[in-house]
Amino acid sequence: MYPFHRQILESIRAARLPPLAPGETHVHRFRVLPWDIDPFGDLNNGRILTLMDIGRIALAQRTGLIAVMRRRGWGLVMAGSVPQYRKRVTMLQKVETRSRLVARDERFVYIEQAMFRDGAATAAVMCRTAITLNGRLVPPERVAAELGRPGWNPPAPNWVRAWSAAEALRPWPPEIAA
């Protein structure tokens, strides 16, 4: 089940923090709870993505995106993600996620997130998100303008461009045999 309680608490906390400009980092701290772990005692890989989701939503809140989305009737959808897992995280450990907007292109906004325990990176996720209205993409250029940052368009790091190019080659719908 989605951790609504955690999301609500982080949204309340984010509302009390100063606004962030694109490229600045939102930090979300939490403790790994028993229902976050898998049968092997590790933080579940799917739960990592869900906990990072809480950080992405708070980042969107602090950059003003949530307010603009409500005003315009826009939606926010995940268009892809690439996780990396490097170190174990176990029950009751203190963890923090760091989330920041990295770049945009003609269709997507790219968000980099990393999870840390005791100052060491344990996992990272690169996400691309889309803003939608009635099932159609809202150009990120328009989103940046609505946020009062029309010039925000930093060059995407090489690895972000490479990932995006690789995703364009991937077949859709998937070619998995029934």
Q: What is the pLDDT of residue 146?
A: 94
Predicted TM-score of the model (pTM): 0.92
> Quick check: 1 pLDDT over 90?
no
Domain boundaries, the chain: 4-152
Task: Identify the H or E element spanning 95.
Answer: strand 94-104
C-alpha neighbours within 13 Å on the C-beta side of residue 67: 10
Q: Does domain 4-152 have CATH number 3.10.129.10?
A: yes
pLDDT in tens, 74-95: 999 999 999 999 999 999 999 9
Instruction: Write the CA distances from 93 to 42, 84, 122, integer angstroms.
Output: 10, 19, 12
pLDDT in tens, 113-151: 999 999 999 999 999 999 999 999 999 999 999 999 999
